[in-house]
Chain A
Amino acid sequence: MSRDPLEGLLGHTGRDPGCEAAFEQFDRYCDAALRGEDVERGFPEFMNHVRNCAACREDAEGLLAALRGIMEE
C-alpha cells in the first residue's frame, strides 16, 4: 500500500502497460535489477505497473528472490 492512501486506492498516474505487457518484461527487469542497474530509469512503465498491480509486484519480488537463491548456489 502506498503511503498516500488515495494513491494506494487509485494507483499512480503515468503509462501503465498492464499485466500481459509487464509479463514480457519481467525477465529483462529481473536481470537488470540483479546487475544493480537503475530499474526506475530503465523500466519506467514496468515499474509503474508493479506499483499499481499487487499481483505483479508480488510476482516480481518472488522471481527476484528465487533467482537470488539460485545465484547463491
Chain B
Amino acid sequence: MGLKEGDRDSTDWLRGLNAEGPTREAAVTRLRALLLRVARSEAARRSASLPERGREEVDDLCHQAASDAAMAILRKLPEFRGDSRFTTWACKFALFEISTRLRRHAWRHRQIDTDEQVWERLADSTSPVLTRLEHTETLHSLERAIRDDLTDRQRLIFQAAVLDEVPIDVLAERLDSTRGAIYKILHDARASLRQAIARSEGKEERI
C-alpha cells in the first residue's frame, strides 16, 4: 500500500476496511459516521446560501451524500496510496457529494437559459458583472469578443457560469454533461477572450 511511516491512523482504517466480518462492519459504520459529519458540516457552513424553501430536505441530502461517498471510497480503496491521510482522502468524497447536491438543490427552482441563442436575447442588457469593468474600451472589446470569437457553446457556458454566476455543476446537470467538461469549455472560452482582447489592444497574450 506504500503508506508513509507514522500514519498509524490511516493504517488502522485500511486494516479495518480490508478485514472481513464484524471488524469490517465496524470500520464501515465508523466511516459512514465520519462522512455524514463532513456532509452536515458543509451543509451548515453553506446554510445561508440555501433557499428557505427546501431546508428540511438538507439532512436527507447529507445522508445521500454520505452513502454515495462511502460506496465510492470502498470501490476506490485499492487506489489509495497514502499520499495523504486516509481521513482527508475519504472526506473529500463526502465533501464533493454534498457540495454538488447543495448547489443543485439551491438552484432547482431557478430557471437557467441554456439554449444557444441566449446571447442574442441578452444583447440589449449589460450584465452586472460586466459593469464592474471600469474601462469602457475594454468592456467594448470584451463584448465584441464574446459575440465574435466564441462558439455558440462557449458563449452559452461563459454567459451562464461567469456573467450569471450559475455553478458549473448545476450547468452540467442541466446540459447533461460533467463538471469537468463544462469547466474545459469555460477555460477555452476565457483563453479565446483574453487573446481577442490582447489583439484589440495590440498586445500578445500568453495563454
Contacts and interface: CB of A to CB of B under 8 A. Distances in A.
A19 B182 CA distance: 10
A55 B190 contact: no
A64 to B, nearest CB: 10
Interface residues of A, number: 31
Contact of B180 (A18, A62, A63, A65): A18
A69 B38 CA distance: 9
A23 B92 CA distance: 8
B137 to A, nearest CB: 12
Nearest to A61: B45
Contacts of B92: 23, 26-27, 30, 63
Given A6-B138, A55-B169, A66 B91 contact: yes
Contacts, number: 101
B119 to A, nearest CB: 15
Interface stretch (B12-20, B24-32, B95-103, B107-115): B95-103
By DSSP majority rule, is chain B's interface helix, strand, loop, or mixed?
Answer: helix
Contact of A53 (B132, B138, B183, B197): B183
Interface in B153-169: 162, 165, 167-169
B41 interface: yes
A31 B167 contact: no
A23 B206 CA distance: 26
Interface in B67-112: 83-85, 87-89, 91-92, 95-96, 99, 103
A27 B134 CA distance: 39
Nearest to B43: A62
A37 interface: no
Interface of A: 1, 5-6, 8-11, 13, 16, 18-20, 23, 26-28, 30-31, 52-55, 58-59, 62-63, 65-67, 69-70
Interface of B: 34, 37-38, 41-42, 45-46, 83-85, 87-89, 91-92, 95-96, 99, 103, 129-130, 132-134, 138, 142, 162, 165, 167-169, 179-180, 183-184, 187, 190, 193-194, 197, 205-207
